[in-house]
Structure 1
Amino acid sequence: MSQGIDYGNLMHEAMRGLIQKVLIGVSETGLPGDHHFFITFDTAHPDVELADWLSDRYPGEMTVVMQHWFDGLDVTDEGFSVTLNFGDAPERLYIPYDAIKTFVDPSVEFGLKFESPEDRDGEPPEPDDSDDDDEDEGEKKDAEIVSLDSFRK
């Protein structure tokens, strides 16, 4: 019997697909207008690739800005590589989508925030095989509502 529909993971997968599509467009035509991105990611993620001095300086998370200068944006199904400038020192980064914590484009007040499993209040409720719904009524969990309004100015 199925364990239920994992809407949280399905939504995160869809949002990461949105980031991928946006980055593909930017890699092909550049950033249009005033668009720019603040991307916060987990530097300890096992698939992140960055210079040792950056991982030493940012051991937990790091926010990068893609705006005026970036080079070599390469977008794949798993993540993206880009060269960014850190105080006149260009560095190549690889960021898997699974490592992204937030993706914000402040020019249009758009943002996505990804919860890690540790951030969630608990596991999804186990399916109940009994037919006695009245007994478990007080134990049901509320649906998780995700709002993008919290990222707006």
Structure 2
Amino acid sequence: MFTKQELQDIIDLIGRSPVQKFKYSDGTAKLLIVKDNASISPKADRRSTKAASEPMAEHAEAAGAKPSESDGEHPAVPEKNTEADTPKLIEIISPTVGTFYASAEQGAAPYVQVGDKVTPEKVVCVLEAMKLFTEVSAKVSGEIVEIAAENGQFVEYGQPLFIVKPE
């Protein structure tokens, strides 16, 4: 059975993630969390849905995209506004909440480092949430110019992980 704090942590994590339905059973207890799509609507009452709706809406607006433009598995990769004389940089953003890991396992070489060339299918990091690991691919060709998250850091949905100079 879950403690009150564990249950609150699960609800908070699901509320901030793109997951719409979460189901868990350990044989003695069952848990089902289903998000109401109205909670991510801009017309929803922000007093009751603030925790669930603001992170997703804020990052979608910052990316210049509507939440429905992202397929959930591959979030929009926004371009940074830069001056005309410098090349445009692209952010690789977190598709979910979780702990950022730069390598497959502790002590292993990181997937990428500053200066590395990446292709759209190149795995750049993994995110771990509730013992589930999600590989994050670059989704762009270019050169890594900055790693915006630290190994072992908790990251939010839509948070920049890497900055890429596109080719």
Same fold (TM over 0.5): no
Larger RCO: 1 or 2 (CA < 8 Å, sep 6+)? 1
TM-score bracket relative to the smaller structure: under 0.3
Q: Considering fraction of residues, name the structure with more helix.
A: 1
TM-score, normalised on structure 2?
0.26
